[in-house]
Amino acid sequence: MQELEVEQIRDTLDKHGYQYKSILGDGGSSNAFLCQRNQNIFVIKKSMKLQMIENEYKNLTSLVHPSIIKLYDSFEDELDEYLVIEYCSNGTLFQKGKLTYSKFVLYAKQILEAIAFCHSKKIAIRDINPEKIFIDQYDHIKLSNFGMAKEFESNEKSNEKCGSLFYLAPEMFQKQDVCPFKADIWSLGITFFFMATGSFPFKSSSIEKIKQMIIRGDIDYSEYDIN
């Protein structure tokens, strides 16, 4: 990110009472910044005015749960929208890698409670993976990134294919309509696999081969040492 752009962002945040501290992530159409207001630290997510950010705002205002990231504030300028969300100082599950048994159980219980809560509200998350699951200063799990989350009836299927490649359910590649809630459970299973092993179950340099491995459920469990 260029210095001029950072200065423009500083000015926008200052107008709304937030002090820019540093950039946390640059994702092309969205950025995340560490900011401060009084003695409190927040993450501010800046995104282009797209349907995804509107979905995230709507979902975070309706999904209030101890294991779901909190939305504190929002504002916009001519081009972008800004979400002020909870800062989790202990990073992501992806950064943790392989977990001990006790830590796996602790985190898995909180993740299951958060997903069950979303599903009880008829909201499928549709992008569950360790990079989107944060850990706060108290070692509590916080599900985040609800831009793809959407409300469905319990027996409803969708032809929308969304999520992260390694965590997509097999039916996503088979030209089938998908039950979004079942697809969430598949993604959760792959997330649990990563938490237990620190690795992905489907490995190849070829995207097409990875898709075929997912469809077949081609996992060599003998490669992994799970305590």
Runs of H (alpha helix) within the chain: 3-15, 51-62, 93-96, 101-120, 180-197, 207-216
| Cα separations in angstroms, 170 against 130, 146, 182 | 19, 22, 11
Q: 208 with 163: CB under 8 angstroms?
A: no
| Cα separations in angstroms, 171 against 30, 118, 177, 181 | 29, 22, 7, 13
Q: 226 with 135: CB under 8 angstroms?
A: no
| Cα separations in angstroms, 111 against 65, 122, 128, 130 | 11, 17, 10, 11
Choosing from 11, 73, 127, 136, which is the catalytic residue? 127
The rounded distance, in Å, linking the Cα atoms of 106 and 99 is: 10
Tell me 199's DSSP state: S
Does residue 127 have an active-site annotation? yes
Distance from the Cα of residue 122 to its chain's centroid? 18
The rounded distance, in Å, linking the Cα atoms of 184 and 189 is: 9
* Residue 210 main-chain phi, psi, to 5 deg: -60, -45
Point out the residues that are catalytic.
Answer: 127
